[in-house]
Protein backbone atom coordinates (compact mmCIF):
# COMPACT_ATOMS: atom_id res chain seq x y z
CA UNK A 1 0.00 0.00 0.00
CA UNK A 2 2.86 2.32 -0.86
CA UNK A 3 1.87 5.93 -1.26
CA UNK A 4 -1.29 5.65 0.80
CA UNK A 5 -2.26 8.92 2.44
CA UNK A 6 -2.72 7.80 6.03
CA UNK A 7 -4.51 11.01 6.94
CA UNK A 8 -7.15 10.16 4.34
CA UNK A 9 -7.55 6.72 5.95
CA UNK A 10 -8.12 8.42 9.29
CA UNK A 11 -10.85 10.56 7.73
CA UNK A 12 -12.42 7.50 6.07
CA UNK A 13 -12.64 5.91 9.51
CA UNK A 14 -14.24 9.16 10.68
CA UNK A 15 -16.87 8.93 7.92
CA UNK A 16 -17.59 5.34 8.96
CA UNK A 17 -18.03 6.41 12.58
CA UNK A 18 -20.49 9.11 11.46
CA UNK A 19 -22.60 6.57 9.56
CA UNK A 20 -22.71 4.17 12.49
CA UNK A 21 -23.29 6.81 15.17
CA UNK A 22 -26.18 8.49 13.31
CA UNK A 23 -28.46 5.73 14.60
CA UNK A 24 -27.86 6.91 18.16
CA UNK A 25 -28.21 10.65 17.54
CA UNK A 26 -31.82 11.56 18.20
CA UNK A 27 -32.18 14.51 15.84
CA UNK A 28 -35.69 15.19 14.59
CA UNK A 29 -36.28 15.46 10.84
CA UNK A 30 -39.94 16.31 11.42
CA UNK A 31 -41.53 19.59 12.44
CA UNK A 32 -39.86 21.07 14.45
CA UNK A 33 -36.68 20.08 12.58
CA UNK A 34 -33.54 19.83 14.68
CA UNK A 35 -31.41 22.99 14.33
CA UNK A 36 -28.35 20.74 14.26
CA UNK A 37 -29.48 19.15 11.00
CA UNK A 38 -29.98 22.62 9.53
CA UNK A 39 -26.52 23.68 10.70
CA UNK A 40 -25.07 20.59 9.03
CA UNK A 41 -26.94 21.51 5.85
CA UNK A 42 -25.63 25.07 5.89
CA UNK A 43 -22.07 23.83 6.34
CA UNK A 44 -22.42 21.49 3.37
CA UNK A 45 -23.96 24.09 1.06
CA UNK A 46 -21.21 26.60 1.86
CA UNK A 47 -18.60 24.01 0.96
CA UNK A 48 -20.33 23.13 -2.31
CA UNK A 49 -20.41 26.76 -3.44
CA UNK A 50 -16.91 27.65 -2.26
CA UNK A 51 -15.06 24.49 -3.29
CA UNK A 52 -17.03 22.11 -5.51
CA UNK A 53 -18.49 24.73 -7.84
CA UNK A 54 -15.06 26.17 -8.76
CA UNK A 55 -13.94 22.57 -9.34
CA UNK A 56 -16.67 22.26 -11.98
CA UNK A 57 -14.96 25.00 -13.97
CA UNK A 58 -11.64 23.18 -13.75
CA UNK A 59 -13.17 19.91 -14.92
CA UNK A 60 -15.11 21.72 -17.65
CA UNK A 61 -11.80 22.55 -19.32
CA UNK A 62 -10.65 18.93 -18.95
CA UNK A 63 -13.82 17.59 -20.58
CA UNK A 64 -13.77 20.21 -23.36
CA UNK A 65 -10.23 19.19 -24.22
CA UNK A 66 -11.22 15.51 -24.33
CA UNK A 67 -14.34 16.15 -26.43
CA UNK A 68 -12.62 18.43 -28.93
CA UNK A 69 -14.70 19.18 -32.04
CA UNK A 70 -16.88 16.05 -31.85
CA UNK A 71 -20.69 16.18 -31.84
CA UNK A 72 -20.57 16.24 -28.02
CA UNK A 73 -19.31 19.83 -28.23
CA UNK A 74 -22.97 20.75 -28.81
CA UNK A 75 -23.58 20.39 -25.05
CA UNK A 76 -21.02 23.07 -24.21
CA UNK A 77 -21.03 23.56 -20.45
CA UNK A 78 -20.79 19.86 -19.66
CA UNK A 79 -20.07 20.00 -15.95
CA UNK A 80 -22.93 22.40 -15.20
CA UNK A 81 -25.35 20.31 -17.25
CA UNK A 82 -24.17 17.23 -15.37
CA UNK A 83 -24.70 19.02 -12.05
CA UNK A 84 -28.25 19.79 -13.17
CA UNK A 85 -28.67 16.16 -14.19
CA UNK A 86 -27.42 15.04 -10.77
CA UNK A 87 -29.90 17.33 -9.04
CA UNK A 88 -32.79 16.11 -11.19
CA UNK A 89 -31.80 12.45 -10.83
CA UNK A 90 -31.63 12.56 -7.03
CA UNK A 91 -34.83 14.60 -6.87
CA UNK A 92 -36.56 12.00 -9.02
CA UNK A 93 -35.29 9.08 -6.96
CA UNK A 94 -36.25 10.74 -3.69
CA UNK A 95 -39.74 11.61 -4.96
CA UNK A 96 -40.19 8.08 -6.32
CA UNK A 97 -39.08 6.48 -3.04
CA UNK A 98 -41.42 8.67 -0.98
CA UNK A 99 -44.36 8.03 -3.33
CA UNK A 100 -44.22 4.29 -2.77
CA UNK A 101 -46.51 2.99 -0.05
CA UNK A 102 -45.21 1.66 3.25
CA UNK A 103 -45.68 -1.84 4.56
CA UNK A 104 -48.42 -1.96 7.20
CA UNK A 105 -46.29 -4.33 9.29
CA UNK A 106 -42.90 -2.59 9.25
CA UNK A 107 -43.69 0.98 8.21
CA UNK A 108 -40.90 0.67 5.62
CA UNK A 109 -40.92 0.86 1.83
CA UNK A 110 -40.54 -2.33 -0.20
CA UNK A 111 -37.15 -3.98 -0.55
CA UNK A 112 -36.92 -3.01 -4.24
CA UNK A 113 -37.54 0.67 -3.45
CA UNK A 114 -34.97 0.54 -0.66
CA UNK A 115 -32.34 -1.11 -2.88
CA UNK A 116 -32.76 1.37 -5.73
CA UNK A 117 -32.69 4.37 -3.39
CA UNK A 118 -29.73 3.18 -1.32
CA UNK A 119 -27.82 2.23 -4.49
CA UNK A 120 -27.95 5.87 -5.61
CA UNK A 121 -26.36 6.87 -2.31
CA UNK A 122 -23.82 4.05 -2.68
CA UNK A 123 -22.59 5.85 -5.81
CA UNK A 124 -22.68 9.15 -3.92
CA UNK A 125 -20.45 7.79 -1.16
CA UNK A 126 -18.18 6.00 -3.62
CA UNK A 127 -17.35 9.33 -5.28
CA UNK A 128 -16.75 11.06 -1.94
CA UNK A 129 -14.43 8.28 -0.79
CA UNK A 130 -12.44 8.38 -4.03
CA UNK A 131 -12.06 12.17 -3.94
CA UNK A 132 -10.78 12.07 -0.38
CA UNK A 133 -7.53 10.47 -1.51
CA UNK A 134 -7.30 11.59 -5.16
CA UNK A 135 -8.51 15.20 -5.00
CA UNK A 136 -5.69 17.73 -5.28
CA UNK A 137 -6.10 19.37 -1.87
CA UNK A 138 -3.86 22.35 -1.24
CA UNK A 139 -2.96 21.14 2.26
CA UNK A 140 -3.89 18.71 5.00
CA UNK A 141 -6.14 21.41 6.42
CA UNK A 142 -8.00 21.57 3.12
CA UNK A 143 -8.57 17.81 3.32
CA UNK A 144 -9.75 18.19 6.90
CA UNK A 145 -12.29 20.80 5.80
CA UNK A 146 -13.55 18.42 3.08
CA UNK A 147 -14.02 15.79 5.77
CA UNK A 148 -15.77 18.18 8.16
CA UNK A 149 -18.25 19.49 5.58
CA UNK A 150 -19.15 16.08 4.19
CA UNK A 151 -19.29 14.39 7.60
CA UNK A 152 -21.91 17.01 8.48
CA UNK A 153 -23.73 16.14 5.26
CA UNK A 154 -23.65 12.42 6.06
CA UNK A 155 -25.08 13.05 9.52
CA UNK A 156 -28.05 14.86 7.96
CA UNK A 157 -28.69 12.47 5.03
CA UNK A 158 -28.47 9.44 7.32
CA UNK A 159 -31.39 10.79 9.32
CA UNK A 160 -33.40 11.45 6.16
CA UNK A 161 -32.77 7.95 4.80
CA UNK A 162 -33.73 6.46 8.14
CA UNK A 163 -36.95 8.49 8.09
CA UNK A 164 -37.84 7.04 4.67
CA UNK A 165 -36.70 3.44 5.10
CA UNK A 166 -36.99 2.91 8.87
CA UNK A 167 -35.45 -0.37 10.08
CA UNK A 168 -34.12 -1.28 6.63
CA UNK A 169 -31.70 1.61 6.87
CA UNK A 170 -30.44 0.65 10.33
CA UNK A 171 -30.16 -3.02 9.41
CA UNK A 172 -28.70 -2.76 5.89
CA UNK A 173 -28.48 0.79 4.59
CA UNK A 174 -25.68 2.13 6.76
CA UNK A 175 -23.59 -0.94 5.93
CA UNK A 176 -24.05 -0.22 2.21
CA UNK A 177 -22.90 3.36 2.73
CA UNK A 178 -19.91 2.37 4.86
CA UNK A 179 -18.89 -0.16 2.20
CA UNK A 180 -19.25 2.52 -0.48
CA UNK A 181 -17.12 5.14 1.23
CA UNK A 182 -14.36 2.62 1.95
CA UNK A 183 -14.53 1.11 -1.55
CA UNK A 184 -14.23 4.56 -3.13
CA UNK A 185 -11.18 5.30 -1.01
CA UNK A 186 -9.64 1.90 -1.83
CA UNK A 187 -10.16 2.46 -5.56
CA UNK A 188 -8.31 5.76 -5.16
CA UNK A 189 -5.46 3.99 -3.37
CA UNK A 190 -5.03 1.41 -6.15
CA UNK A 191 -6.08 3.27 -9.31
CA UNK A 192 -6.14 6.76 -10.72
CA UNK A 193 -9.39 7.18 -12.64
CA UNK A 194 -9.29 9.32 -15.80
CA UNK A 195 -9.91 13.00 -15.07
CA UNK A 196 -12.90 13.13 -17.43
CA UNK A 197 -14.68 10.44 -15.40
CA UNK A 198 -13.79 12.22 -12.17
CA UNK A 199 -15.13 15.48 -13.62
CA UNK A 200 -18.42 13.80 -14.50
CA UNK A 201 -18.64 12.27 -11.01
CA UNK A 202 -17.88 15.55 -9.21
CA UNK A 203 -20.47 17.39 -11.30
CA UNK A 204 -23.22 14.87 -10.56
CA UNK A 205 -22.19 14.86 -6.89
CA UNK A 206 -22.45 18.66 -6.62
CA UNK A 207 -25.98 18.62 -8.04
CA UNK A 208 -26.98 15.74 -5.79
CA UNK A 209 -25.69 17.45 -2.67
CA UNK A 210 -27.51 20.70 -3.46
CA UNK A 211 -30.77 18.80 -3.91
CA UNK A 212 -30.40 16.62 -0.83
CA UNK A 213 -29.73 19.59 1.43
CA UNK A 214 -32.32 22.03 0.10
CA UNK A 215 -35.19 19.53 -0.16
CA UNK A 216 -34.94 18.94 3.58
CA UNK A 217 -34.39 22.55 4.57
CA UNK A 218 -37.25 23.95 2.47
CA UNK A 219 -39.69 21.30 3.62
CA UNK A 220 -40.35 22.68 7.08
CA UNK A 221 -38.14 25.72 7.42
CA UNK A 222 -38.59 28.39 10.09
CA UNK A 223 -36.51 31.22 11.52
CA UNK A 224 -34.78 28.98 14.06
CA UNK A 225 -33.65 26.44 11.47
CA UNK A 226 -32.67 29.24 9.07
CA UNK A 227 -30.40 30.79 11.70
CA UNK A 228 -28.86 27.38 12.34
CA UNK A 229 -28.38 26.91 8.58
CA UNK A 230 -26.81 30.37 8.36
CA UNK A 231 -24.53 29.61 11.28
CA UNK A 232 -23.29 26.38 9.71
CA UNK A 233 -22.64 28.15 6.41
CA UNK A 234 -20.75 31.01 8.08
CA UNK A 235 -18.54 28.63 10.06
CA UNK A 236 -17.49 26.63 6.99
CA UNK A 237 -17.05 29.79 4.89
CA UNK A 238 -14.78 31.26 7.56
CA UNK A 239 -12.78 28.02 7.87
CA UNK A 240 -12.47 27.83 4.09
CA UNK A 241 -11.03 31.34 3.89
CA UNK A 242 -8.76 30.63 6.85
CA UNK A 243 -7.40 27.43 5.27
CA UNK A 244 -6.80 29.24 1.96
CA UNK A 245 -4.84 31.95 3.73
CA UNK A 246 -2.40 29.51 5.37
pLDDT tens readout for residues 4-40: 588 999 999 999 999 988 777 777 666 677 889 899 9
Q: Is 160 among the domain residues?
A: yes
Q: Which range, 60-74, 86-100, 119-133, has the best average confidence (pLDDT)?
A: 119-133
Q: Is 17 among the domain residues?
A: no
What 166-174 contacts at long range (C-beta under 8 Å, 24+ apart), as own/partner pairs, is 166/106, 166/107, 166/108, 167/106, 167/107, 167/108, 168/106, 168/108, 168/109, 168/111, 168/114, 169/114, 169/118, 170/23, 172/114, 172/118, 173/114, 173/118, 174/19, 174/20, 174/22, 174/23
Residue 114 or 243, more confident: 243
pLDDT tens digit sequence for 130-157: 999 988 888 899 999 999 999 999 998 8
End-to-end CA distance of the chain: 30
Residue-averaged pLDDT of the chain: 86
Q: How much is the pTM?
A: 0.88
Query: How many alpha carbons lie under 13 Å from residue 26 in its C-beta half-sphere?
Result: 0
Distance CA 150, CA 128 (A): 8
Q: Is 26 among the domain residues?
A: no
Q: Is 171 among the domain residues?
A: yes
pLDDT tens digit sequence for 37-81: 899 999 999 999 999 999 999 999 988 888 877 777 777 788 899
Q: Is 211 among the domain residues?
A: yes
Say which residues have a Cβ less than 8 Å from residue 39's Cβ, sequence separation at least 6: 152, 228, 229, 231, 232
Query: What is the extent of the structural domain holding 182?
Result: 6-10+36-245
Q: Is 217 among the domain residues?
A: yes
User: Where is 155: in which H helix or E strand?
Assistant: helix 140-165
HEC profile for 160-227? Answer: HHHHHHCHHHHHHHHHHHHHHHHHHHHHHHHCCCCHHHHHHHHHHHHHHHHHHHHHHHCCCCCHHHHH
Distance CA 20, CA 162 (A): 12
Asked whether the bond before 61 is cis by omega within 30 degrees of 0, the reply is no
Residue 7, burial from CB neighbour count under 10 angstroms (0-12, 13-18, 19+)? middle
Q: Is 156 among the domain residues?
A: yes
Q: Is 180 among the domain residues?
A: yes
pLDDT band at 3 (very low <50, low <70, confident <90, very high): very low
How many domains does the chain contain in total?
1
Amino acid sequence: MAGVNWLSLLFIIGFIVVHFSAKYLKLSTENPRSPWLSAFGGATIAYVFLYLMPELHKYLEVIKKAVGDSWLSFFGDYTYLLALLGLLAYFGLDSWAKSKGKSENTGSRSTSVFLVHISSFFLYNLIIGYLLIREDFSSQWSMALYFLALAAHFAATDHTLKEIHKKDYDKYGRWFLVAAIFTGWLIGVIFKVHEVIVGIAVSVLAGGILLNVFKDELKEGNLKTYLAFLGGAVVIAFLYMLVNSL
